[in-house]
Amino acid sequence: MDNFDPIQIREDFPIYNHSESPLVYLDNAATTQRPQAVLDAVNKYYTEFNANVHRALYSFGEKATAAYEDARQTIADFIGADNTSIIFTGGTTESINLPAYAWARNNLTSNDEILVTEMEHHSNLVPWQLAAEATGASLKYIPFNEDGSLELEDPDKYFTAKTKFVAVIHQSNVLGTINPVKDIVRMAHDVGAVTLVDGPNGSPMGALI
Neighbours of 42 (CB within 10 A): 11
- The whole-angstrom separation of Cα 89 and Cα 178 is 24
- Output the pLDDT for position 173: 83
- The whole-angstrom separation of Cα 19 and Cα 115 is 44
pLDDT tens digits, one per residue of 139-156: 999 999 999 999 999 999
Write phi, then psi, for 134 (nearest 5 degrees): -75, -30
User: What is the bridge-based pairing of β-strands 163-169 and 138-142?
Assistant: unpaired
**What is the topology classification, in CATH, of domain 92-205?**
Aspartate Aminotransferase; domain 2 (3.40.640)
Write phi, then psi, for 144 (nearest 5 degrees): -120, 155
Using an 8 Å Cβ cutoff, are 104 and 139 in contact? no
- The whole-angstrom separation of Cα 64 and Cα 204 is 26
Q: Where in the chain is the domain with CATH 3.40.640.10?
A: 92-205
In which residue ranges of the chain is pLDDT below 50?
none
pTM: 0.84
- Output the pLDDT for position 166: 99
- Output the pLDDT for position 138: 98
- Output the pLDDT for position 146: 95
